[in-house]
Chains A and B, each alone.
Chain A
Amino acid sequence: MTGHPAYTIGERLLTIDNVCVHYDRPILEGVSGHIDNIRRDDRPQGQVVCLLGPSGIGKSQLFRCIAGLQRPTCGSVRLNAQQREVQPGEVGVVAQNYPLFNHRSVWGNLTLAARRHGRTDDQAREACLDLLEKFGLVDSAKCHPMMLSGGQRQRVAIAQQLLCSSHFLLMDEPFSGLDPLAKTAVCDTLIEVSTSHELNTIIVVTHDIESAIRISDTLWLLGRNRDERGPAAGGASIRQTIDLAGMGLAWDPDIESRSEFRELAAALKARFATL
Chain B
Amino acid sequence: MEDELRLVNLLLPFTPVRARWLKTLLAVQALAAIGLWAASGCKTLPSPVEIGAAWVDLVRHQGLLFELWTSVKVSVLALVVSTLAAVAVAALATAPVFTPVAKLASTLRFLGFAGLTYVFMLISSDANALRVWILAFGMFVFMVTALLADLAATPRDQIDHCRTLGMRHWRITGEVVVLGKADVILDLMRQNAAIGWTLLTLVEGMTRSAGGIGAMLLNQNRYFLLAGVFAIQLTILAFGLAQDALLSLLKDAVCPWSTLGKEQART
Give A residues with C-beta under 8 Å from B: 64, 67, 69, 88-89, 91-93, 95, 97, 99-104, 112-113, 116-117, 144-147, 160-161, 164-165
Contacts and interface: CB of A to CB of B under 8 A. Distances in A.
Contacts of B255: 103
Contact of B260 (A99, A112, A113, A144): A144
A146 B260 contact: yes
9 contacts: A88-B164, A93-B161, A99-B158, A101-B161, A101-B179, A144-B257, A160-B165, A164-B164, A164-B166
Contacts of B158: 99
Nearest to B254: A103
B67 interface: no
Contacts of A146: 257, 260-261, 264
Contacts of B35: none
B163 interface: yes
8 smallest CB-CB distances across A and B, nearest first, come from A89-B166, A146-B260, A99-B161, A88-B163, A93-B164, A144-B257, A116-B166, A102-B257
Contacts of B2: none
Interface in B183-218: 183
Contacts of B165: 89, 112-113, 116, 160-161, 164
Given A88-B163, A88-B166, A146-B257, A103 B157 contact: no
A97 B158 CA distance: 11
Contacts of B161: 93, 95, 99-101
Contacts of A89: 163-167
- B interface SS class: helix
B182 A103 contact: yes
A95 B160 contact: yes
Nearest to A99: B161
Contacts of A145: 257
Contacts of B257: 102-103, 144-146
B63 interface: no
B130 to A, nearest CB: 37
B180 A69 contact: no
- Which of B167, B179, B182 has the largest number of chain A CB atoms within 10 A? B167
A101 B180 contact: yes
Nearest to A143: B260
B260 A147 contact: yes
Contact of B164 (A67, A101, A112, A117): A67
A47 B130 CA distance: 67
- Which of B157, B160, B161, B255 has the largest number of chain A CB atoms within 10 A? B161
Interface string B153-176: 000011011011111000000010
Given A88-B164, A103-B255, A144-B257, 14 more contacts: A88-B163, A92-B164, A97-B157, A99-B157, A101-B175, A101-B180, A103-B179, A103-B257, A104-B179, A116-B165, A116-B166, A144-B260, A146-B257, A146-B264
Contacts of B180: 101-103
- Which of A97, A102, A104, A160 has the largest number of chain B CB atoms within 10 A? A102
A91 B160 CA distance: 12
A204 to B, nearest CB: 16
Nearest to B171: A116
Nearest to B261: A146
A112 B179 CA distance: 13
B198 to A, nearest CB: 31
A100 B176 CA distance: 11
Contacts of B163: 69, 88-89
Contacts of A102: 180, 257, 261
A160 B175 CA distance: 16
B264 to A, nearest CB: 6
- Which of B166, B175, B180 has the largest number of chain A CB atoms within 10 A? B166
B127 to A, nearest CB: 40
A147 to B, nearest CB: 6
Contacts of A160: 165
Nearest to B255: A103
Contacts of A88: 163-164, 166
A165 to B, nearest CB: 8
Contacts of B160: 64, 67, 69, 93, 95, 99
A270 B180 CA distance: 46
Contacts of B260: 144, 146-147
